[in-house]
């Protein structure tokens, strides 16, 4: 079965950084599925599979196309029932939905403000035009203004992880005794920050940092396949 994953990259195609794509990368490795990765830029996303989706990730699985990271995870769970489970049952699906909502509403907006100037610098010229046009109205500031004020967001982001720290006092993974898709969701957000921006957020001794390092080392260290921003 030919499996292809389309993911977002900057001017350097090896530096792919979408948090949603990283969720799927981890899920594919979790299931033990071999796949080809196809990097695309912002302005070329509409060309993927004849315009199948306005966003990435997009997964081609034989003759099937699937978009949206959670839908892809559900598809993989159903298609490979004998491989390690991404959810461990309905409770795990509910947990993953909770983490998805927490991450996208409480973590992503702050990471976006911290990393936007660095993401902009990673992009090819035509993508910079697109990125400025779409992101500045969303955040209500120019990229240059965000560059000046973004460090104030770091302490806010650190505080947002308190519920995660509480969970990690009692278990090694958000999903319990083993990593599952709930872990990959939050990992994707922090990997997005790690790959795009050198701004330090998680410090030594922070349980979230220790958990993130464990995630980076999963599946043969695939999280390390893209180096941290310097």
pLDDT digits (tens, 9 = 90+) for 94-129: 999 999 999 999 999 999 999 999 999 999 999 999
Q: Look at the alpha carbons of 3, 42, 48, 87 in this order and tell me if their dihedral is positive or negative.
A: positive
Structural domain boundaries enclosing 108: 90-225
Predicted pLDDT of residue 70: 98
For residues 203 and 155, membership in a common domain is answered with yes
Answer whether residue 31 is part of any domain. yes
Helix (H, G, I), strand (E, B) or coil at 85: coil
For residues 95 and 206, membership in a common domain is answered with yes
User: Which of 31, 60, 79 delimits the end of a domain?
Assistant: 79
For residues 120 and 179, membership in a common domain is answered with yes
52 has which bridge partners? none
For residues 75 and 95, membership in a common domain is answered with no
For residues 56 and 159, membership in a common domain is answered with no
For residues 117 and 187, membership in a common domain is answered with yes
For residues 157 and 202, membership in a common domain is answered with yes
Answer whether residue 137 is part of any domain. yes
38 has which bridge partners? 6
For residues 55 and 119, membership in a common domain is answered with no
7 has which bridge partners? 39
Answer whether residue 49 is part of any domain. yes
Long-range contacts of 91-99 (CB under 8 A, 24+ apart): 92/175, 92/180, 92/181, 92/182, 95/174, 95/175, 95/182, 96/70, 96/180, 96/181, 96/182, 96/185, 97/70, 98/182, 99/174, 99/182, 99/185, 99/186
- What CATH number is given to the structural domain containing 111? 1.20.1050.10
Give per-residue pLDDT as tens, 31-48: 999 999 999 999 999 999
Give per-residue pLDDT as tens, 146-169: 999 999 999 999 999 999 999 999
- What CATH number is given to the structural domain containing 64? 3.40.30.10
For residues 74 and 120, membership in a common domain is answered with no
What does the pLDDT average to over 71-92?
Answer: 98
**How far is it, in rounded angstroms, from Cα 187 to Cα 229?**
16
For residues 62 and 96, membership in a common domain is answered with no
- Continuous segment of H or E residues that includes residue 40: strand 36-40
For residues 112 and 221, membership in a common domain is answered with yes
- How do strand 36-40 and strand 64-67 relate by DSSP bridges? unpaired
Report CA 24 to chain centroid distance, whole Å.
8
| Of 127, 136, 114, the residue nearest 10 (C-alpha) | 127
Question: How many structural domains does the chain have?
Answer: 2
For residues 130 and 178, membership in a common domain is answered with yes
DSSP string, 116-184: HHHHHHHS-HHHHHHHHHHHHHHHTS-HHHHHHHTTHHHHHHHHHTHHHHHHHTT-SBTTBSS--HHHH
pLDDT greater than 90 at residue 202: yes
pLDDT greater than 90 at residue 1: no
């Amino acid at each position: 079965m030919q499996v292809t994953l389309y993911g977002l990259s900057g001017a350097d195609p090896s530096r792919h950084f979408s948090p949603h794509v990283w969720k799927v990368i981890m899920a594919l490795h979790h299931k033990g599925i071999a796949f080809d990765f196809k990097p695309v830029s912002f302005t070329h996303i509409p060309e993927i599979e004849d315009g199948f989706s306005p966003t990435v990730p997009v997964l081609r699985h034989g003759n099937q196309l699937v978009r949206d990271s959670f839908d892809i995870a559900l598809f993989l769970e159903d298609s490979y029932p004998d491989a390690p489970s991404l959810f461990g049952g309905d409770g795990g699906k509910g947990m993953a939905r909770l983490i998805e909502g927490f991450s996208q509403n409480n973590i992503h907006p702050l990471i976006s403000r911290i990393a936007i100037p660095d993401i902009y610098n990673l992009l090819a010229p035509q993508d910079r035009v697109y990125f400025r046009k779409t992101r500045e109205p969303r955040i209500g500031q120019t990229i240059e203004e965000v560059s000046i004020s973004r460090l104030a967001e770091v302490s806010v982001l650190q505080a947002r992880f308190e519920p995660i720290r509480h969970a990690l006092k009692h278990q090694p993974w958000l999903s319990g005794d083993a990593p599952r898709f709930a872990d990959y969701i939050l990992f994707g957000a922090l990997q997005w920050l790690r790959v795009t921006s050198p701004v330090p957020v998680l410090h030594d001794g922070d349980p979230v940092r220790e958990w993130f390092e464990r995630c980076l080392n999963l599946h043969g260290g695939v999280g390390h396949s893209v180096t941290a921003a310097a």
